[in-house]
Amino acid sequence: MKVLITGVAGFIGSHLAEKLLSENYAVIGIDKYLDNYPRRFKEKNLARVLNHSKFEFFENDLAGLNLRELVKDVSYVFHLAAQPGVRSSWGDEFIHYTQNNIMATQLVLEACKESAVKKIVYASSSSVYGDTDDLPMREEGGTRPVSPYGVSKLAAEHLCYLYWKAYGAPTVSLRFFTVYGPRQRPDMFFHIFMDRLRKGEEIPLYDDGEQTRDFTYCADIVDGLLGAAFYPGAGEVFNLGGGTESSLLNVIRIVEGLSGRKAKLKPFERQKGDVRHTRARLDSAKDKLGYRPKISLEEGLAQEWRWIQTLED
């Protein structure tokens, strides 16, 4: 059985590819190596799969490929390719979010709308909820993003729904809540924090550190992606959280304990687009997708800290 993964060289895409190959799937991977962070990280992400006999890789923009031809004998499509980042999505940069999040999703949906693909799984974000006190965040609750990034992810969700409604395209959208673990992008807080802690450097702390997130380990996200692919329904949205809401200050204390090092924190004001709290209601994902996050925050942080120590300066 064959699957297609867009954004395969990324943090989550590379973990998903490894999991599927280990279960004897053939994997087509697409990635255009966005320059949002150094290419060497993405190349290293793919190191374990690039020469696998059942892995076929295309270094291309989605707009430069014949996607209809690629999906002809594909059973599942995992659309993970995106322009990430809340803080960088303002101003002139927003054009990249419209191209890589909205337009790219429409290209995938167009290619799949009359194919035999069993499921198109779209990677959305908790950013679609915005800065709300209505916790836990519920799939049927309000969506009012407070960043252009969040707007672009919600727009792509709506496209998935539209193509399901109009063409019967078997889409499922998953709202990821703050994913972490080995291979986390270098612009994300845990990576920045641990890398600078390792080097004895100052660590930027935006806001007061009491903001909380529902942190989700990467392997749990991969399980959720597979659960969504095999789910018989379509046209729906599900939260994927870790079931552990924690403040940044608590995370810092845990990692200080793991590392035996003291963080040198440098405070900064809260940034535009940041939200104060996130917490996912997981009832629907548990009931319909069989989703059960397994990795505790402490265990996941220990795994990422071990990985950070393997990085070259």
Closest CA to 115 of 54, 62, 167: 167
For residue range 165-205, list pLDDT tens digits in order: 999 999 999 999 999 999 999 999 999 999 999 999 999 99
Residue 287, pLDDT score: 98
Mean pLDDT, rounded, of the chain: 96
For residue range 13-33, list pLDDT tens digits in order: 999 999 999 999 999 999 999
Residue 272, pLDDT score: 85
User: If one looks up domain 2-179+218-243+280-293 in CATH, what number appears?
Assistant: 3.40.50.720
For residue range 131-155, list pLDDT tens digits in order: 999 999 999 999 999 999 999 999 9
Residue 126 clears pLDDT 90, i.e. is over it: yes
d(CA 153, CA 160): 11
Residue 309 burial (CB count, 10 A): 11
**Which band of pLDDT confidence, cut at 50, 70 and 90, is reported for residue 312?**
confident
163 catalytic residue (yes or no): no
For strand 212-214 and strand 264-268, is the pairing parallel, antiparallel, or unpaired?
unpaired
Residue 313 clears pLDDT 80, i.e. is over it: no
Domain ranges for the chain: 2-179+218-243+280-293
Q: Is 193 in contact with 201 (CB distance < 8 Å)?
A: no
Of 122, 149, 217, 231, the catalytic one is 149
